[in-house]
Chains A and B, each alone.
Chain A
Amino acid sequence: MVNMKVLYIIICLFLMAGKINAQQYLTGKVIAKERNTALAGVLITIDGVNQKQISDANGQFTFNVPPGTYIVDVFYIGFDRLKIKVVVPQKEKLTIVLNPFATELKEVSVLSNGYQRLAKGKATGSFVQLDSSILNRRVSPDILSRLADVTPGLIFNRSPGSGDNDISIRGRSTLFANDQPLVVLDNFPYEGDLNSINPNDVESITVLKDAAAAAIWGARSGNGVIVITTRSGSYGQKARVSFNSNFTYGAKPDLFYNPKMSSADVIEMEKKLFATGFYSTVEQSDTREGVSPVIELLIAARDSKISAQEANERIEKLKAYDVRNDYAKYLYQHSQAQQYALQFSGGTTQQKYLVSAGYDKGISSLVGNQNDRLSLRGTNTYSFSGGKGELSTEVYFIKSKNQINNTGTGYITTGGRAIYPYARLVDDNGNPVSVTHDYRQGFVDEAMGKGLLDWSYNPLREIAVADNHSESTDLRINSRFKYRLLRGLDAEVIYQYTRSNSMSKNIQGLESYYTRNLINIYSQVNASGSLTRAIPLGAIQDLNTGLSVGNSVRSQLTYQRQFGQDHEVNAIGGYEIRSQESRINSSRLYGFSPLNVTNTAVDYIGLYKSYPSINGSSMRIPFGDEEDQYNDRYISWYGNAGYTYKQRYTFTATARLDRSNIFGVRTNQKGVPLYSAGLSWNVSQEGFYQLNWLPALKLRATFGYNGNVDRSLSAVTTAGYSSGAGTVLGIPYAAISNPPNPDLRWERVKVYNLGIDFSLKGQLLNGSLDIYQKNGIDLIGSTTMPTSSGILTFRGNTANTSGKGMDLFLNSTIGKGNLKWSPNLIVSYSSEKVSKYGVKALPYNYVVAGENGLYPYEGRPMASLYSYTWAGLDPSTGEARVYMNGLITKDYNKVAQQITVADLVYSGPARPTVFGALRNTFQYKNFSVGVNISYRLGYYFRRSSLSSFTVLSGGVGHSDYTNRWQKAGDELITDVPVLPSVRNVNQDQMYLYSSALIEKGDHIRLQDINIGYSISKRDHQQLPFSVIRFYVYGNNLGLLWTANKRGLDPDYPTLKANKTISAGIKADF
């Protein structure tokens, strides 16, 4: 009954609102020209009546005025001021289009921090706004990579140890905790796979860099925040259709990019090693490990199975082959990618909607691998009670498929080592052939004679018979309800539900080597010579499924009001609760038949003799059933307030308290309060401001704290349980995960930022400059422990860092009329050092892993490059020499044991300290060319060279092999040491980690070129579309300059960045 009453009241209110609406309201909407995005925070004054209002988040405003004719004054910073005549009652809702000062200025004036939309003019923090035109310059299936080289302060790390899409915003302010920025997709942190977001659905991205901008995200904001806002329809917009499609073609990977020893050199070395008896260990190994064909021939000749002459002839023939040619021909191909996106959007005065569909297909450069993605999205917003209330729902569905039938060259090995370089994947007739893999050929032949399965390994056939694919579906549902409680005061509740299912299935049939090998290993030969197979004949299926469900609720009050001419308040406060639960299951079926979906039980308990092992070591059948469950939970309170006085002075403050279940399994109830404050001064709005040449000038200053969390640590002793399935006893056991650490705290980053935004007269130049100081406090530091403590490293809040830097962004438009040139320059400087770090690691650690940032050293950047001080080669022996205690030494063991950090050379940071891009866009009529040149400066890298250990192990060494010292005098022209008589790891280290191999990393790269041609209805009335754009895009075009003399690309040491070329069409109807 109560429900019915409420319903009745709501209906009445609703109908009343509808009635009043048509008569006495002056209502409209402000949008920015060209982008058609709503402008919030625009000051709208009705002349004569002295009524003022600020447009809301959707650019809307509503005045209550008597009928008549009015002049509406529309003012917004960065845009031309506009006065419009309006007759009330209105025939239709007013749409005001504002022209930006500079049409090429890439800063949208509404910023989103994921909680609120802020007028750029009233922001104090350091934000970077990337609109769709910038984001769509690049052609890619993912959104994140489009941030590269267009975002001041943001860099994609390519140093050793960093993975794909490894991003740093303003350097690094943590040592061992998560160092990646928080990604927010429409209000909430995005926990799914970033590659599944369709870039065509993205309207804009805001990067939050300093404390004032990011502190609203509290304990997860320490690495910066990337806020992705998706597209939505607009009120009062006619139905619109837009379509985008492109095709990308990629170069084949250059397999010869990594310089390697020639097959002939490797074969000569194998012969030498064989003569010394090096292979006798392998030859008699219990595991019958495979040896290369040359060694087999040499053994056969030694054992007089073939003549020495025949062996030699056959070996000589092998010298001509290089397996990389076969890889390039049969394992790799040109990559291809297709993208299609279709979008409908529109709206009435009370409703707006957007529906989009996208399909992406990619064919990998590895033959047999491909992926595709389907994304569907629908969003609908309904406005009621005369705009007082708003209800929106969004459904986002993504389905991705990935096929990985080609595992690459990494699995093509011989005896567990890299394959012999003269291997062939096909015979002279082009038929796929087997290569020596795990076992020696003689053993394989003998086993097959005893009735075991074919034990040969044929890399190309492996790809053909593989069936390994994964699938994932992501569903995201957002509902948002907003209601205006009082004038200026809105209440909103947002609820988000996410559900991700992932499944990967690898069916390795009886034809696959994996399955044949496993069945053979577990084959038991009975006394009578008959065979028993512990693993049944049939395929082996590995299935992994994952389910992740997220629930988030946010309740928020927004207060936005202007008092008189001079005072304006903009505040939010809210409460948020989030939970993310995930479950991962793995299972394995033996004797599986994909046709009938049947499988066979196996004995997981019994011990079986390994067939290849002569000593008959016993083992269990690999067991693959497991389940894991994880829960992340957060409760947060937050608030952000801004006060603007006379449109000139803005003061902002942010506070947030986060609590989570993250610190260990016992609840840490304390949480962490973080806050920030900021001030901005719109100097050019002052009465005294007289600089005509600089019509816009704004100063900003902020201070505050961001936070960071390390999920892996706990304040109390924790242990992890394991099923024990892989152990000899097979009983469950536990391992201690971390020692107790009662003092554990959350990490904090203290940030100061000073900024200036300016614009020269006539838009000749505009831009911004930010300088900042970032200090990491209570960072989780890793302490190398004496191993007698029972642990190797101890992690606690032991470290501080300090960083400073600058982001400069300059933009200009030169030329009028048909020809325009818009240069755009980004310069970022970021320098960081570890300011407090109690513990010193071994010199060895700094040298080997200092560049990965694993061993911080007080006073130096986290990722630093250290080396042994090179003293040249010994002129008489060609041995490597380094300095120790000021003396030249080649006592490698002594250096390994006794060298001190003072003896090491510190070359500098291993990550760029200055980076950015120069983007030039040329526009002639409808034709445009954009060229982006990126650069990275102020860092060092270590080039690779010859490891004598690899060579003396019969492996394929670096091509520096040919430059090695061979006779007296060579030391004048080479630093590559002589090959020692026996393998010595320490000697190798001495050279490979010496200062002789350090190079400057500075380089300039032609990142990409985008060429476009547009035809619009404006010029050709007969066209069915409003605008159509054809574009061609080339990416990773190559180095323009590099500081090192060898032409090495410091960012891509092992695999060259793949050149791609794309062509596409984008049409709007």
Chain B
Amino acid sequence: MKTQYKFYLVKWLSSSLSTLLILSVLILYSCQKEFLEKKPDLSRLVPKTVSDFQAICDNEMWYSAPGVQEVSTDDFNISDAGLFASSAIVQNAYRWLPNTFAGQPFVLDWYETHMQIFYANIILEGLADITDGERDSPVYSSVKGTAFFQRAFAFYNLAQVFAAPYNPANANSKPGIPLRLLSDVNARYPRGTVQQTYDQVIIDLRTALPLLPDEVSYTSRPSKVAVYAMLARVYLAMGDYVNAELNANTALTIKHELIDYNTIKGNASDRLIPPALRNTNVEVIFYKGAIAYTFPGASALASVVPSVYNSYAADDLRKLLFFRNRGNGIFTFRGTYGGVSSAGLFTGLATDELYLIRAECAARRGNLNGALSDLNTLLVKRYTIGKFIPVVETNQEIVLRTILAERRKELICRALRWTDLRRLNIDPKFAVEFNRTVAGVEYKLPPNSNRYTFPLPDDEILIGGMEQNP
């Protein structure tokens, strides 16, 4: 009995031992290299393929655009209580105080936009390493075009807030935006000039143009028409009305749909602009959303300036769709063109803006018929059916002023007003000065004031050693 017991035991031992030994020998000599090549986290990867870079292009971080300048425009007011309940940045920007960011680190308007530049450079460098057949695929070129387009958009957006307004007279001397064209985070770039910034924006856009497709599945991805639309916006900001009109025209040749606001149905509160990102807003060409501050969207106390509200005619559907009556004569903004307020105020590209650019440029060169035709094409879609009376006018300045007034009304809360104020101030005829009173103290923003250029965030000056704006 005992021997038998031992026999089974030894049998068991030897079998388990040999299994153990074989297992360890197997693991020992099974290719070590392969063993260590397993990814530590399966969802983490080294972006190498075109689809990896496409996935990076579909990140929501690209939606972001500066929004602080919207606080400083003349479109909205806020009560003292509302202002003091807001963040320090809002309090400072609203009063045009020089130290807007008050030592606060990580100013999103600056940081998130630069992150887009960093991402764009990572993509461009990663794509350059692709050597196989993928290089010839249409996705490869559209991803590459996207990176150039997004980088241009980011440079342009930063220039509207942190660099002086484009003025041919001093564009070669005013500091611009550091032009980071490589992903190396340790490299330091000087600010260069305003001229260099705008040159780079145009170079990047022109590089993107042949690479991008005609059609895209989502408005968060740029297409050729987005490049033309962007070029129109950039040239307009530069006061280059010839090129602005040219590009607006090309863009409108490709895409010219307008929403008839009469087709937006529902109760007062849910008559909403159709969402942009899901391509249901036919006017939207390319999507961006501004970083949210207390207003104009988020506070019940940030109300549209009464004169602006009253400038919309009674039959103008925008008066209903864009604003919400809070009682006591207070109207707040609700009609973001992105349709989804949670994603931030829409600051992307749309056909309505293009009609207005083309109209303005045409008016400026004296083509009043062309200008009014564009204006009327747009406005008829904004009024209750049958109530719109087309604008007829022969005085160039009146036509121009009408278009500019309509531009302000149509493009309210798209972070365009600030750029327009900066541009228009250069011409004394259109320069405006405005002021506001907070807690009994009056604040003024004279035309061409240094306050039209925001200071760089304080951490950038302290760590990056960059030149501060005056």
A787 close to B82 (CB less than 8 A): no
A669 at the interface (CB under 8 A from B): yes
Query: Whose C-beta in chain B lies nearest to the C-beta of A899?
Result: B103
A722: which B residues are within 8 A, CB to CB?
43
With known contacts A734-B56, A790-B114, A555–B185 Cβ distance under 8 A: no
Are the C-beta atoms of B40 and A788 separated by less than 8 Å? no
Q: Which residues of A contact B104 (CB under 8 A)?
A: 896
Bound Cα distance A894, B85 (Å): 21
**B81's contact among A277, A285, A618, by CB below 8 Å, is which?**
A277
CB distance from B220 to the nearest CB of A (A): 7
Closest partner residue, chain B, to A626 (CB atom): B43
| List of B residues within 8 angstroms of A662 by Cβ | 40
Task: Say which one of B19-27, B308-316, B373-381 lies at the interface with A.
Answer: B19-27
Is residue B300 contacting chain A, with contact meaning CB distance below 8 A?
A: yes
In-complex Cβ contact of A281 among B9, B11, B81 (8 A): B81
Contacting residues, chain B, for A727 (C-beta < 8 A): 60
User: Given A14-B6, A635-B32, A719-B47, are A790 and B40 neighbors across the interface (CB < 8 Å)?
Assistant: no
Do B185 and A615 touch (CB < 8 A)? no
Rounded to whole angstroms, the CA-CA distance of A406 and B425 in the bound complex is: 61
Min CB–CB distance B331 → chain A (angstroms): 12
Interface residues of B in 201-236 (CB under 8 A from A): 218, 220
Confirm or deny: B341 has a beta carbon within 8 angstroms of a beta carbon on chain A: yes
Pick the residue among A635, A669, A788, A840 that contacts B114 (CB under 8 A).
A788
- Kindly identify which residue among B28, B42, B457 contacts A787, using a CB–CB cutoff of 8 Å: B457
Say if the beta carbon of A183 comes within 8 Å of chain B: no
Min Cβ gap A743→B in Å is 11
* Known contacts A278-B85, A667-B33, A986-B103, A555 near B40 by CB under 8 Å: no
* Of the residues B6, B36, B116, contact of A660 by C-beta under 8 Å: B36
- Interface segment among B165-173, B398-406, B459-467: the answer is B459-467
Asked if B443 CB lies within 8 Å of chain A CBs, one says no
Query: B38 contacts which chain A residues (CB < 8 A)?
Result: 579, 631, 633, 661
Picked from B10, B27, B106, B465, the residue with its CB within 8 Å of the CB of A577 is B27
Compute how far the CA of A6 lies from the CA of B301 in the bound complex, rounded to whole angstroms.
90
Please state if B42 and A630 are interface contacts (CB–CB under 8 Å).
yes
CA of A910 to CA of B56 in the docked complex: distance in angstroms? 41
The answer for the CA separation of A443 and B311 in the assembled complex, in Å, is: 34
The answer to whether A842 and B105 touch (CB under 8 A), given A553-B27, A628-B43, A717-B47, is: yes
User: Could you say which of B39, B116, B459 contacts A665, with CB atoms under 8 Å apart?
Assistant: B39
Residue of B nearest to A711 (CB): B40
Q: When the two chains form the complex, which single residue of A664, A734, A792 contacts B52, counting CB atoms closer than 8 Å?
A: A734
Is residue B239 within 8 Å, beta carbon to beta carbon, of the partner chain? no
Q: How far is the CA of A898 from the CA of B99 in the complex (A)?
A: 11
What are the residues of chain B within 8 A of A893 when measuring CB–CB? 88, 99, 102-103
Q: Does B186 contact A (CB under 8 A)?
A: yes
B103 x A790 contact (CB < 8 A): no
B24 touches A665 (CB 8 A): no
The 8 Å CB contact of B460, one of A15, A285, A718, A787, is A787
A667–B36 touching, CB < 8 Å: yes
Nearest chain B CB to A344's CB is how many angstroms away?
A: 21
Q: Is the CB of B36 within 8 A of A669?
A: yes
The reply on B442 being an interface residue by CB < 8 A is no
A604 within 8 A of B: no
Quick one: which of B261-304 are within 8 Å of A by CB? 267, 269-270, 272, 275, 277-278, 298-301
Query: Is A886's CB within 8 Å of the partner chain B?
Result: no
Q: Mark A776-793, 1 if CB is under 8 A from B, else 0.
A: 000000001111111110
> When the two chains form their complex, are residues B270 and A616 in contact, meaning their CB atoms are under 8 A apart?
yes
> Are B117 and A635 in contact (CB-based, < 8 A)?
no
B458 at the interface (CB under 8 A from A): yes
A788 touches B23 (CB 8 A): no
Residues of chain A with a CB closer than 8 A to B114's CB: 787-790
In the bound complex, CA of A479 to CA of B19 (Å): 11
Best-surrounded residue of B37, B85, B126, B341 (most CB of chain A within 10 A): B85
Question: How far, in whole Å, are A732 and B272 apart by their CA atoms in the complex?
Answer: 27
Contact residues, B438-453 vs A (CB, 8 A): none
**B88 neighbours in A (Cβ, 8 Å):** 893, 984-986
Q: Given A633-B35, A718-B44, A897-B103, decide whether A616 and B269 contact each other with a Cβ distance below 8 A.
A: yes
Complex: A631 Cα to B36 Cα, angstroms: 10
Determine whether A844 belongs to the interface, using a CB cutoff of 8 Å to chain B: yes
B87 to chain A, nearest CB (A): 8
Contact: A728 with B122, CB < 8 Å? no
Bound CA–CA A91/B111 (angstroms):
84
Q: Which chain A residues in 839-860 approach chain B with CB under 8 Å?
A: 839-842, 844-845
- A residues 554-581 touching B (CB-CB < 8 Å): 555, 575, 577, 579
Measured between beta carbons, the chain B residues less than 8 angstroms from A986 are 88, 102-103
Query: Whose C-beta in chain B lies nearest to the C-beta of A983?
Result: B84
A886 to B243, CA, bound (A): 57
Do residues B464 and A786 form an inter-chain contact, with CB atoms below 8 A? yes
CB distance from A383 to the nearest CB of B (A): 12
B59 CB-CB contact with A under 8 Å: yes
A737 at the interface (CB under 8 A from B): yes
Residues in B whose Cβ lies below 8 Å from that of A142:
none
B14 is an interface residue with CB less than 8 A from chain A: yes
- Give the residues in chain B near A632, CB-CB below 8 Å: 40
Query: If A391-B17, A729-B277 touch, does A281 touch B118 (CB 8 Å cutoff)?
Result: no
Give the interface size bracket for A toward B.
Answer: 35 or more
- Residues of B within 8 Å of A894, CB to CB, are 99
Residues of B within 8 A of A7 (CB): 10-11, 14
Whether A692 is near chain B, meaning CB under 8 Å from some CB there, is no
**B301:A284 contact, CB within 8 angstroms:** yes
Residues of the B chain whose Cβ atoms lie less than 8 Å from the Cβ of A618: 275, 339-340, 342
On whether the beta carbons of A10 and B82 are closer than 8 Å, the reply is no
* CB-based nearest A residue for B189: A788
Query: Is there an interface contact between A790 and B119, defined as CB atoms closer than 8 Å?
Result: yes
Which A residues lie within 8 Å of B259 (CB)? Answer: none
Closest chain B residue, CB of each to CB of A791 = B185
Residues of A within 8 A of B115 (CB): 790-791
Most A CB contacts (10 A, CB to CB) among B103, B326, B460, B466 go to: B103
Q: Which of A278, A575, A660, A785 contacts B185 (CB 8 A)?
A: A785
Query: Do residues A982 and B84 form an inter-chain contact, with CB atoms below 8 A?
Result: yes
Contact flag A493-B20 (CB < 8 Å), given A784-B463, A788-B114, A789-B185 = yes
List of A residues within 8 angstroms of B463 by Cβ:
784-786, 839-842
Q: A794–B187 Cα gap in the complex (Å)?
A: 12
B174 on the interface (CB 8 Å rule)? no
Name, among B55, B99, B115, B326, the residue most crowded by chain A CB atoms within 10 Å (CB to CB): B55
Enumerate chain A residues within 8 angstroms of B341, measured Cβ to Cβ. Answer: 615, 617
B275: shortest Cβ distance to chain A, in Å?
7
Pairs A-B, 5 closest by C-beta atoms? A790-B118, A786-B464, A896-B103, A284-B300, A277-B81
* Contacts A/B (CB < 8 Å), 28 sampled: A14-B6, A277-B81, A280-B81, A280-B301, A283-B300, A285-B300, A391-B13, A391-B17, A553-B23, A615-B269, A615-B341, A629-B42, A632-B40, A633-B35, A633-B38, A665-B44, A667-B36, A728-B340, A731-B58, A733-B56, A734-B45, A734-B59, A735-B56, A787-B114, A789-B118, A789-B180, A839-B463, A842-B458
Taking Cβ atoms with an 8 Å cutoff, the residues of B that contact A are: 6-7, 9-11, 13-14, 16-17, 20-21, 23-24, 27-28, 32-33, 35-47, 52, 55-56, 58-61, 79-82, 84-85, 88, 99, 102-107, 110-111, 114-119, 121-122, 126, 178, 180, 183, 185-186, 188-189, 218, 220, 267, 269-270, 272, 275, 277-278, 298-301, 324, 326, 334, 339-343, 457-460, 462-466
Chain A contacts to B: CB under 8 angstroms:
3, 6-7, 10-11, 14-15, 276-278, 280-281, 283-286, 382, 384, 391, 479, 481, 493, 495, 527, 553, 555, 575, 577, 579, 607, 609, 614-619, 628-633, 635, 659-662, 664-667, 669, 711, 714, 716-722, 724, 727-729, 731-737, 739-740, 784-792, 794, 839-842, 844-845, 893-898, 982-986
If A732-B58, A790-B183 are given as contacts, then 9 extra A-B residue pairs at C-beta distance below 8 Å, sorted by A number, are A283-B300, A391-B13, A628-B43, A661-B38, A665-B39, A719-B45, A785-B463, A786-B464, A790-B185
